């Protein structure tokens, strides 16, 4: 049995702890939880942009209309395509660059330092850079290919929907590969050398040591990189807004860009809010798939 004095002291400490946490809790609620709850309420209404207070309750109508919409599923397909291709290529290139840096060839320090440059460039600036590269009249891509004799005249690269989407993916890969490479290189630097050396003594070649030792040990770092990049790629907006603005013929409209169109171009805040929660559900589903496939809890002896 605790004495009344001990109980009183514990209650006093709890009150002090609550008081210390209260400012942070108010800040978190005001900045994070309240906007989420407000958006959730909006998603069940037919609220126009001209009057953003929740009104005209319509239930699940916004969600059901999108689930029956061809435009919505086309945007989902483009978003999934963008996510799978960009994140997949970024993982392969990032892993290759990380292994190269870890091997410490001549100039490896310069390579590791220069990796920061594309990643440090803001996404809007990155989009503006690649929009100039793809420009049909004076773009660097046309200039390079023309000077090498690969093309005989300048071409408009962003006039076909699928090609435009792939070129946006190239721009995103250039920007994001360094992020994955730096994460995996840092993880490689922490791996125990004893396992690799023991496998080499037992006759394992470089590929076997990578596949059977390094790659399984890199799984947690790969999981972190994949989840972060998948979330970022699935909600891609800014680079598309700068390079193509959803064109040509809505060929680069992803789910986040469709949310922007619904909310601010068409003025349907309720529909935009419903789309934002659908994006959240899809993103959580993909993150759970990654965790399910890659996470391996350690068995406690």
Strand partners, 268: 48
User: If you average pLDDT over every residue of the chain, what do you get?
Assistant: 87
For 11-38, the pLDDT digits (tens) are 777 888 788 888 888 887 778 788 888 8
CA angle 62, 245, 164 (to 5 degrees): 110
299 pLDDT band (50/70/90 cuts)? very low
C-alpha distance across the termini of the chain, in Å: 36
pLDDT digits (tens, 9 = 90+) for 194-208: 877 788 777 888 888
pLDDT at 298 over 60: no
Domains detected in the chain: 69-294 (1.10.3720.10)
Q: What is the pLDDT of residues 209-243, one digit of tens each?
A: 888 888 888 988 998 898 889 889 998 999 999 99
Q: What is the pLDDT of residue 107?
A: 81
- Separation CA 134–CA 153 (nearest Å): 14
């Amino acid at each position: 049995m605790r004495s009344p004095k001990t109980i009183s002291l514990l209650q006093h400490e709890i009150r002090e702890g609550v008081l210390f946490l209260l400012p942070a809790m108010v800040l978190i609620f005001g900045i994070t939880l309240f906007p989420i709850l407000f958006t959730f309420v909006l998603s069940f209404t037919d609220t126009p942009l001209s009057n953003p207070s929740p009104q005209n309750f319509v239930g699940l109508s916004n969600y059901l209309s999108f689930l029956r919409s061809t435009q919505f599923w086309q945007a989902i397909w483009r978003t999934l395509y963008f996510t799978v291709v960009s994140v997949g290529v970024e993982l392969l290139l990032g892993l290759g660059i990380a292994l190269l840096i870890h091997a410490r060839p001549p100039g490896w320090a310069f390579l590791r330092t220069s990796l920061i440059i594309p990643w440090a460039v803001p996404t809007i600036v990155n989009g503006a850079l690649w929009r100039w590269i793809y420009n049909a009249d004076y773009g660097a891509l046309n200039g390079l290919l023309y000077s090498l004799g690969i093309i005989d005249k300048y071409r408009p690269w962003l006039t076909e929907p699928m090609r435009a989407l792939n070129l946006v993916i190239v721009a995103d890969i250039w920007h994001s590969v360094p992020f994955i490479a730096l994460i995996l290189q840092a993880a490689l630097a922490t791996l125990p050398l004893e396992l690799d050396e023991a496998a080499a003594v037992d006759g394992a070649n470089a590929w076997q040591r990578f596949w059977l030792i390094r790659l399984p040990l890199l799984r947690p770092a790969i999981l972190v990189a994949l989840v972060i990049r998948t979330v970022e790629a699935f909600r891609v907006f800014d680079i598309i807004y700068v390079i193509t603005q959803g064109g040509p013929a809505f060929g680069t409209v992803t789910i986040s860009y469709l949310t922007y169109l619904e909310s601010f171009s068409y003025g349907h805040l309720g529909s935009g809010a419903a789309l934002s929660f659908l994006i959240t559900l899809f993103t959580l589903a993909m993150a759970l798939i990654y965790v399910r496939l890659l996470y391996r809890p350690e068995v406690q002896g």
